[in-house]
Structures are given as structure tokens and as C-alpha cells.
A and B are shown apart, each in its own frame.
Chain A
Amino acid sequence: MENKDTIIELRSITKEFEDGFKAVDDFNLEVKRGEFVTFLGPSGCGKTTTLRMIAGLDVPTSGDILLNGKSLIGLPPYKRPINTVFQRYALFPHMNVYQNIAFGLRQKKVPKDVIDRKVTRVLDLVDLEGFEERGIHTLSGGQQQRIAIARALVNEPEILLLDEPLGALDLKMRKEMQLELKNMHDRLGITFIYVTHDQEEALTMSDKIVVMNEGKTQQIGTPEDIYNEPQNAFVADFIGESNIFNGVMTGHLRARFCGGEFACVDDYEEGTHITAVVRPEDVEITAPEKGTIVGTVDSVIFKGMHYEITVVSGRNEMVIQTVHNANVGDRVGMRVDPENIHVMLAEDHTNQFYADINKDFRLEFNGHHLDTSLTKIIRGSRRLEDGRIVDSSGETIEPSRIRILVSIQPDDIDMTDDQDKGLIQGTISNLIYKGDHYSYVIHTELEQDFVVNDEYLWNMDDRVSLMMPVDKMKFSLRRK
């Protein structure tokens, strides 16, 4: 594409609602003319709010939006050369197809014969020639979708905004429309800004993807970048399926995670706390003696094209996609090619591990009781007389279907020589002096690495017990 100048720029856009909820937080983006940009993220991540601010339907609390270098702030939606395809189309039910499409042109007082010509042309574009007189309710979902696109495109907007436009369609229609939208974009050369929570849709259609979570930009890049080089654990987790591990660098191009030491291609200083991402299709199952790590097959699910095999190794779980079958209970080895291990700096040094839920709905770790229970962790949940636990909406919580992820900060863990005092024991495998304290990596008997900050000097290979106060732990619920 030759004309690569910026058409729209968002500068530290923040949107805080009346109730104090920050939907979008310091959002920055530049979109080039003719680009197909997708905002991708889970529901509630702020992607639709950002789109609405570009359309003028929401007003940012702070920040600026520049269209061709001029600020759009204060300009109402009906004065912006931007049009939107709404989530559920928002076609005017009391008007026919022609009246719907002509609505925008009529507002601009375009002469009738010009409107007629443009409506015919745009109907042709969306493959619905001759539909002018049809009522909205006589159209199928896919047809309504096309009319919604036509109604926006007929105004020849500088930017077309699409808010999850394919969400209401069935899978087959969705695939077709994805291709068609992409074609339309290539033909018209209009800038598209597209919102979706469907990562596959985003990867297929976009020139550029903006991954968002909790109002913040996580990563901006091409689909290839986002998939192959996720910048943090959230992106890795959200895009495609991933095994994500906390780990530590143990030497030059060597990282330890998931209870084993792997060769990798990302170089960080020894002792650095890292997050390692391995795609399920990149794990190779080997004979036990040939694997970097060894584990037991926990479940095998046939998925048509492949098997999805979960292998438990120590306290870790590895999900593997392979065309070879395995049997539950098999002892297997696992290896991963160095270039398929994606190592990134851990965002922070939060230690995370899964707690067990015992019969009494109390939490345990490494055989020790944690002084808390499910009802305390899950907000609004309560225990019924018949012993079940229900959440705030009254739905039964099945302990076997959830896992509790515990997070604790390095500053909140204390080390002791007294082996029985702590929750878990391990040996110090790394230490770095950080000016006013030492940062230790403790490799536990359960093959996990904990980061602990301590002002006193301990020695390498010292055996210590880790004391973790429950009131410093944060709990979050994960579905299995």
C-alpha cells in the first residue's frame, strides 16, 4: 500500500464511568490510512468503549483523538466522517432496506437521483441487488448484516467501525462473511477498525491487532507477531492455546520451568525470573528416558484432527496436541525444540501455584491446611445446609471442576531453617544482590521455583522452608 500516512491517532485515551469503573486506561494507537485494525480482547476489556469513543457515542474522560491531525473531541457523532456497523445491526425496523441505506445520505441533503444511484451500487456491493423494497423483518440474519454494512458504507466514511458484527451469525455464515469483509476492505481501501473477542477472526482478517485486557493495551502487532511472539502471559494465553510456566534462567540460553531444564533461544541473565510459553502443538512425546521432563498421562481427548493429551509432571500440567494416541496412566517423556520455547521476562515476580481443595471445601497446599475456605475466596458464595457450595447467583460450585490459583509476592514470603515451620521446602538455586536486599530463587521439592526477597544473606544450596502467611495470599478461581 502506497499511502501509509496516519488517518487516526488516539492519544492516552482514558474512559472512567460515573461509577468509577475505568473501562479504558491510557490507550494509545496510530492507525494508517487503509489499514484493517482489530481490537481483540475478552468481554469487558474496553474494546467496544474505545470504538464508541472514536464514533463519538462515548466521550473520553481524558486524552485526545485526532482524525487527519485534527482533534475530534467535542464533535458529536453526526458530524464525524466515521460510520459504524453495530453489534446487532441496529437497522431501523420501521423502514425498508432502501430507507435504511438512504438515511445517512438524506441527512446530508443529497439529491434523490444521486441517493438512488448510490443505494443501487452499495446493494450490488453487498450482493443484495433488488432488495430495496424489502422490510427489515423479512431478512435473514446474514442479509441484515449486509444491509447494516451497506448502510454505513454508502456514506463513504473515512473510517468504518465494526463492533463484533459477526457475533450473531452461525459459524458457517461467520466464516463466509469474514472473507467477504476482507475482500470489501481490499477493494474499497477504507480504513476498518474492527472489534471482536474471537482470536481466530482477528488473526484471519487484520493487518494489525490490538490485544486489550482490563482497559489496557497488552500488545499491538501483526497477527504473526501476536501469535509467535506474545509479549506477556495474557497475550500468550488469549491467543491460541498455551502452556504457561513460571521459571528462572539457569545459564546462557538455558531456562528451568515445569520441573526441567530446557535449551531456549531467548537470552536473559542467569537467575532472571521468566515466563515460558509453549504451544501445545510444539510438545513432542518421547520415551521417558529421552524426555527433558517426565510425567504421567492424565487425560486424552480425541479432537478429530488430533488428540489433546494432558500430562502431569510433578505439580505442573502440560497440554499437548499430537496425532499420536496415548493411554491414561502412561509414563511419558516430553521435549520441546528450543525455538518453540518462548521465554519472556516475568511482568513481576509474583509467585503462583495451585492449591488443593479437600473434602471439607478447605484449601490445602503440600499437605498443609491454609486457613481459609472456598466460601471466603469466592465472593457472594455460601454453603447450603445440604453441604453444597453455591455462588452468588445460586449456581452450585463443583470443587472437582475448579482450581484455586494462589498468588503471593516475593516480599511476603519468609525463609526459615526450621523445616517443619513452612508450607514447603526447597533449596536455594539462585541469589542476586539487589542493593538493599537479596532476591532468591528457591527450587522446591515439588519442582516449582519461588522468588523470595530477604535482607539476610543465605548460601546457594541451603535447604530452607518457606513461610507464607494466608492473609498475604491472593486467590483466584480457574475453571478446569
Chain B
Amino acid sequence: MNKKNKTAADAARVLFLVLVLAFLYLPILLLAFYSFTGSTHIGAVRGFSLQNYVTLFTTSELTDMILGTILLALGSAFIATILGTMGAIGAFYSRRGVNAFITSLNQVPVVNADVVTGFSTCILLVVVLHISKDSYIPLVAGHVTLCAPFVFLSVMPRIKQMDPSIYEAALDLGATPFIALRDIVIPQIVPGIISGFALAVTLSLDDYFIATYTKPATFDTISTYVVNATKGAQTSIKTALWALSTVIFVIVVLIVLGMNIRSMRAEKARLENSVRRGGANV
């Protein structure tokens, strides 16, 4: 291949990536642009306005819904993280049969359609056990059921990677099993627990189906609210949701940026360490 062809092929590759990125981002970015105007639909030209943001943060219906979604996500992610982490540790050190049992049941909500998970949770808790949806128990239980298996899956590899003899070394040095777990095992799997928690939060934030089938009638998450709003809500609310979309987009970008910078720093530190270590070997 000559040089000219190669540059052409490279350009084609870059163009393809850019087009796919445009498909993914253009709607969000356009919406973000129009959220700062007074327009009620895309294409209409109106002047700069922060009205949508004012509506977003002052309408109690919207702020309640946002706050509720966040609280639900943090709460169920917290419970799911504790359950899933304990489950992963317990399963790993259990007999093979018990381990296989927990691991395969754990897989069910992971592969299952969310519609089915939500519907079956609703039938069991609401229809069979007569637990009122207003108690929030079905909603939280449904979200924990959705999230805990992913915490389990993100903690498990960390436990598997861990050198099994460091737990034994702690016992050998006089630590009780509880202390060894708390001071030695848990610190080793913290990265898995943290990413499990983050994953649980995003899953809960993004959920529509489980919430629909288990939430109290008066409560809305962002998803259920937005879906209902598109079926004909006031224009002011509709454009305020554009602002919400923009705010979430900016937050996600900031978090991802932060994570990337952190992991780059960690990588750099690791490289420096290995250089130092090489020096120590000499």
C-alpha cells in the first residue's frame, strides 16, 4: 500500500468514527443548545434564555422527582452493595455446590429482561404478599434485585485475583477471621465494591420498567416522569426536561473526565514505581 492510499484509508476510518459519534451526540448537543433559548421546539429561533433552568430548579414537581430518583438510586445501591459484596465473599469461600447455586441464581436478573424482573417482583410482593406499593418496599426491593447481582459480578473477580494466602498470613500473624476479613480482605476488594456501587447507582437511575411496575402512584423517577411527559405535557415542563438532560450530560462528562484523569495519574504513578523498583533491583 502506498502512502497516499494509507492516508486516504486513515481518513475514511476517522470519518466513520466521527459520523457514529455525531449520531450519538448530535441529539443531546442540539437539545443542550436549545435548552438555553426560549424555543419550544428544535428549529425555531428564539433568543438566549435561562428560563428552562429556572423552571427545572423551582418547580417542586420536578425537584421532588429528581431528588426522589437520586435517593432511590443511592439507597438501593447502598443495600445492593452490602448484599452483593457479602454474597460474593460468602460464595467464593463456600463449597462448590453452594457457590454454583448462588452464582447461577445471581445470573437470572442479569440476563433477564427488566420488564420481566419488574413484573415478577410486582406479582410476588404486591399481588401474592399484598405489600402496598405505597410502602416503597416493592420499589426498593425491585431495584436492589436489579443492582445486587451486578455488584456481585464486579466484586467476584477481585476476590478471585486476590492471593489467597494473604488471608491465611493474617490468621498466622494472630488476626481473628473477622479482623483478617476487615483489615486484609476488604481493602483488597474495595475497587470492585466501589465500581459495583457506581454501577448499581447508574442502573437504578436508568431504570424505567421495574419502577413502573412497583412504584407508588404518586412517586415518579426521572424515567417514568419523562416517559409520561412526552405523552403530552405542558410545553414549559417539556423544555425544562431539555435542561435536565443537559445538566445530566454535563455531570456525566465531568465524572468520566475525572475518572480518566485519576486513572492516568495512577498509571503514571505505577510506571514511576516500576522504574524505582527496577532501580532497587540493580
Contacts and interface: CB of A to CB of B under 8 A. Distances in A.
Interface string A289-306: 000000000000000000
A217 interface: no
B163 interface: yes
Interface residues of B, number: 21
A77 B172 contact: yes
A465 interface: no
A77 B168 contact: yes
Interface string B244-282: 000000000000000000000000000001001100110
B174 interface: yes
A88 B162 CA distance: 12
B175 interface: yes
A78 B174 CA distance: 4
| Max chain A C-beta neighbours (<10 A), residue from B171, B174, B175, B187 | B174
B168 A90 contact: yes
Contacts, number: 73
A78 B166 contact: no
B174 A139 contact: no
Interface residues of A, number: 31
Given A86-B165, A93-B188, A107 B280 contact: no
Interface string A376-410: 00000000000000000000000000000000000
A88 B165 CA distance: 8
B172 A84 contact: yes
Contacts of B179: 107
A139 B280 contact: yes
B49 interface: no
A138 B173 contact: no
Interface in A141-198: 143, 151-152, 155
Interface string B129-150: 0000000000000000000000
A140 interface: yes
A151 B173 contact: yes
A425 interface: no
B163 A107 contact: no
B171 to A, nearest CB: 4
Given A86-B165, A88-B165, A78 B171 contact: yes
Chain B binding surface SS class: helix
A103 B169 CA distance: 10
B187 A139 contact: no
B165 A138 contact: no
Nearest to A148: B169
A84 B280 contact: no
B273 A103 contact: no
Given A139-B277, A140-B277, A83 B172 contact: yes
Given A86-B165, A92-B184, A135 B273 contact: yes
Nearest to B169: A90
B280 A77 contact: no
B277 A90 contact: no
A76 B273 CA distance: 38
A88 B173 CA distance: 16
A55 interface: yes
B170 interface: yes
A443 B120 CA distance: 82
Nearest to B282: A140
B249 to A, nearest CB: 36
A57 B280 contact: no
Contacts of B174: 78-79, 104, 107-108, 155
Contacts of A151: 173
Interface in A69-92: 76-79, 82-84, 86-88, 90-92
B176 interface: yes
A8 to B, nearest CB: 16
A93 B184 CA distance: 9
Contacts of B168: 55, 57, 77, 84, 86, 90
Given A57-B171, A86-B168, A143-B280, A94 B176 contact: no
Nearest to B186: A94
Interface string A122-150: 00000000000001011110010000000
A16 to B, nearest CB: 17
Contacts of A76: 171
A94 B179 CA distance: 15
| Max chain B C-beta neighbours (<10 A), residue from A57, A90, A108, A140 | A90
A92 B173 CA distance: 12
B165 A103 contact: no
Contacts of A143: 280
Interface string B169-203: 11111111001000010011000000000000000
Given A92-B184, A94-B188, A78 B165 contact: no
Contacts of A84: 168-169, 172
Contacts of B280: 138-140, 143
Given A84-B172, A86-B169, A140-B277, 4 more contacts: A78-B173, A84-B169, A103-B173, A107-B175
29 contacts: A55-B168, A55-B172, A56-B171, A56-B172, A76-B171, A77-B168, A77-B171, A78-B172, A78-B173, A78-B175, A79-B174, A82-B172, A83-B172, A86-B168, A87-B165, A88-B165, A90-B165, A90-B168, A91-B169, A92-B166, A92-B170, A93-B166, A94-B188, A107-B173, A107-B175, A137-B273, A137-B277, A138-B276, A143-B280
Interface of A: 55-57, 76-79, 82-84, 86-88, 90-94, 103-104, 107-108, 135, 137-140, 143, 151-152, 155
The 6 closest A-B pairs by CB, nearest first: A104-B173, A107-B174, A90-B169, A90-B165, A77-B171, A94-B187
